[in-house]
Amino acid sequence: MHSSVEQAEPAEAMSSREAEFIDELRRHRHVGVLETTVGTIRLDILYGDRTDHWLVSVSHGDLHVTFGYGEADCAFQMDETAFRRLADGETVPFAAYLSNEIAVVGRFNLLIVLQQLFHGRPGARDPRRLAERERRHS
């Protein structure tokens, strides 16, 4: 299975940041760290009075992305601001969950999959490495 996007709505229905993120997912045909994962995630993104739904199916690392509401093993519900913070790398899914920026319904373990799809900001430092470096220099 390879990554693809099927549009059920016109492209102008989504925000430009949503479109960029979906395009990025489409380019990731295979995510090696997810090779043991099988499941479907639904992203429910609230834009005022409209909610966009994206389904991301993962089968042994291969991604398939579709627009529209559908059955999923886990749904992640968030508003536009939370989605943009995730997509821009300002936060990661687990931190967003802990701060109530996103709600999780279904198989909670798929939050780890979401964590792999929303990468931190390029150039961001792993806090464990930063702490280790501080320890060595003190």
* pLDDT digits 0-9 by tens, 102-125: 999 999 988 888 888 876 544 444
Tens of pLDDT, residue by residue over 84-104, are 888 888 888 999 999 999 999
- CATH superfamily of the 5-137 domain: SCP2 sterol-binding domain (3.30.1050.10)
Residue 27: exposure state from Cβ atoms within 10 A (0-12, 13-18, ≥19)? exposed
Q: Using CA atoms, how far apart are residues 59 and 22, in angstroms rounded to an integer?
A: 18
Predicted confidence at residue 88, as pLDDT, reads 83
Q: What is the mean pLDDT of residues 18-31?
A: 78
The closest alpha carbon to 92, from 76, 105, 107, 106, belongs to 76
The pLDDT > 70 percentage for the chain reads: 75
pTM: 0.74
Tell me the average pLDDT of the chain: 80
Q: Sort strands 50-59 and 38-47 into parallel, antiparallel or unpaired.
A: antiparallel
